[in-house]
Structure 1
Amino acid sequence: MNILDKIVIDKRREVDLRKSLIPIRQLESSVLFERNTNSLAQNLTASKSGIIAEHKRRSPSKSVINQNLNVQDVAKGYEDAGVCGMSVLTDGKYFGGSLDDLLVARASCNLPLLRKEFVINEYQIIEAKAYGADVILLIAAILSRDEIKQFSELAKSLKLDVLLEVHNEEELHKSIMPSIDMLGVNNRNLKTFEVSLDISKQLSQLIPNDFVKVSESGISSVEAIKQLQPYDYKGFLIGENFMKTNNPGASATTFIEKLTEKNII
């Protein structure tokens, strides 16, 4: 059994427990459930940098990345840096995140917030909206085509953007539907954790132009983005690169300055 299988098994148990503690009607009556959402897809389309910066304490592949930073400072720093959106890990067991991180990020900035989570149940999408998310992530590797359709349509009905993540051609083909806004190509194989930008390059030509293309994982340099821009990628999800520093906001600022300065020349 690979790590992804283990995460999904644990996630099913966790969601069952959460559903028993907080009913859907309680989520739907939360203050944030009525707020107008911000579109990450629109931000990416209009941006020169396309950076989606992440808040991530640890991961199964890297163990501890940074446990010392508070979410409020990270969110404000990213917003000041001019990123297009912020990804917030809400998985506790494997990534050290929580829904409280999402709430704090929401209270600290006006960026579009992506709830980075292993979504296996509609409940988590309603939960994302109630905790202030603007975008949900769907991972094709753990969902059937019917689930992708059901979950993405629910998200759209709640005015949430949908980022659908794929790793190969087979996953891509089952994921193309009108209720998806962004197609993310994860350069990390979630089963082996090996990373290669070639995955983004190979899949780019198979992604229809109706979708905003996002490249995820293994992007730690301006050069990596320069390699991917000719393949029509508009979004670049950067997790560990900023989080492993003492000041992710300052790191993101420097990174974006370098990236956009080179665009001018």
Structure 2
Amino acid sequence: QGEPGKGLGLFGVINDRSRCGFEDNGDKNTGTALADTIAGSCTGHPAFRRGAGRDASRVFGVKHFAGEVFYEAALFVRKNASAHRPDIVSFLREKGSSFVREFLESDEQKTEGLSAAGDTSKPIGSPAAGTPSTDKAGRPRRKLFGRTLISVFQQELNELCSALEARSCRHVRCLRPNDDQAPLVFDDGSMLRQCRYSGLLEATRIRRQGYAHRRVLRGFAARYALLLNSREAR
């Protein structure tokens, strides 16, 4: 995600292009245009990488906790806007089972919830001001119903984080000491790879930046109040 005053960020750029009718037909030109826009917004971020090699103009990279991954920019916008088509939704409403109709109603309620939470942009496919209603070939632009995939992901991630914050979670991570299932053998390289790819190293780095252990105030005060004089303790 972008930081305040430092551009939209990767998700923001892709969502913005989805909402303003960016024509992503998967060719080199659209891939280059999107990669340039992403680079203009994300250059300088420690996790962003410019493309390299023969296809550098339409490639960008992201430094994940498990390593760097490079992506071709083409079709990112189209895949992000792969929401329910209105003709399919209409058909399922009329011919689908009660379960399908209930599912569609639930999806609409989530869409309304996003708008109420501050996502006030137009539905996917709604042309922005000044955007023609047809593409370059004269075909009508396809209007899509619902949200972008990124919006769905962000909402579900926020809901998950809220649920975790409301609980005191304890996680147990199981790691294989070696790949041969041999007893009393500890493979340093294999263990390190598992720690890196499961996010344990990144989680440890983040915890070290703040206070890794937190105590409930009442319990802390009861345990250490004797170190203070009576006035301070009160």
TM-score between both structures, scaled by the size of structure 2:
0.24
Structure with bigger RCO (C-alpha 8 Å, 6+ apart) = 1
Larger Rg: 2
TM-score between both structures, scaled by the size of structure 1:
0.22
| Structure with more strand by fraction | 1
